[in-house]
Copies of this chain bind each other. A is one copy, B any other.
């Protein structure tokens, strides 16, 4: 078959070059509903937003497991992480690598100046970049 030449930038990639779309949930979701969304959408990281679509927390399958392990209530608020480490679209991609390592986390929501969620950067996504020969 034919193959198109792959575009490759020699400049340092930015967060917006490596981020992926992400689904969000609201504080009204239960743990059970969050678990369903994680499984259905195959997103492991669900940013939680308030009524103005602003980021207020993040929930992962890890937090769902925590709810089950601790047999806590089915409410999202007690198990979500509130201090979310985030990046901006124009940050350099290597900042994400350093933040993931420093905080021992697997994904970073990308937000704009109004805390609206634009996407997500995962260790997986960064590994893909690297496996294509791009050094972040």
Contact = CB atoms under 8 A, between A and B. Distances in A.
Interface of A: 31-32, 35-36, 38-40, 44, 60-62, 64-66, 68-70, 94, 97-98, 100-101, 104, 106, 123-124, 126-128, 130-131, 135-136
A69 B38 contact: yes
Nearest to A128: B101
A54 to B, nearest CB: 25
Contacts of A38: 62, 65, 69
A69 B127 contact: no
Nearest to A105: B124
Nearest to A104: B124
Contacts of A69: 32, 35-36, 38-40
